Homo-oligomer: A and B are copies of this chain.
Amino acid sequence: MGAHAAMTRSFNADLQASSAITVTDFEALRRLASAEGGRMRRVDLATAVGLTASGMTRLLDGLERAALVCKEHCSSDARVTYAAITDTGRALLHTAAESHLEALAAIFSERFSPAEVDQLVTLLGRLPGAEEDASSCPGAAAEG
């Protein structure tokens, strides 16, 4: 409890200050940016970042209002709406990533050797819900 909450709070404050987004916003943008065509079905994005569909609706509301993301419709299935990252979104993600990944790296490299980081990544990767989180973790095995 304590550790996770504390870290999330600190990362949030960090991102908030540098880019006015939350950790979850960051995750969503990151996912979109690396998705094919810079877009994903809202439902897929939701499960990817670990939110419910309605949670994703709220989150994207905010990102849309900030013009970081926009809606696109699917021609073959009228039920689905894509969330697509905009150029503004990509730019902000880039900025945010610098400070966020730096903070992340700081926390970890201060406390763990590269080998230990690897160990954590493999071990935690076995947790339910982590599935392909590890593969998308920037600098998982890298980072000297």
Residues of A in contact with B (beta carbons under 8 Å apart): 1-7, 10, 23-24, 27, 48-51, 107, 111-112, 116, 119-120, 123-124, 126-131, 133
List chain B residues, Cβ under 8 A from A50: 1-6
Q: Can you tell how many copies of this chain the complex includes?
A: 2
A100 nearest CB across to chain B (Å): 13
B107 touches A128 (CB 8 A): yes
CA distance A129 to B111 in the complex (A): 13
Contact A7-B123, Cβ < 8 Å, known A1-B27, A2-B50, A133-B2: no
* Partner among B48, B49, B120, B131 whose Cβ is within 8 Å of the Cβ of A123: B120
B3 touching A124, Cβ below 8 Å: yes
Q: Assuming A5-B50, A50-B1, A50-B6, is B119 touching A123 (CB within 8 A)?
A: yes
CA distance A129 to B9 in the complex (A): 11
Q: Write the nearest CB–CB distance from A25 to chain B, whole angstroms.
A: 11
CA distance A140 to B49 in the complex (A): 29
Are the C-beta atoms of A6 and B129 separated by less than 8 Å?
yes
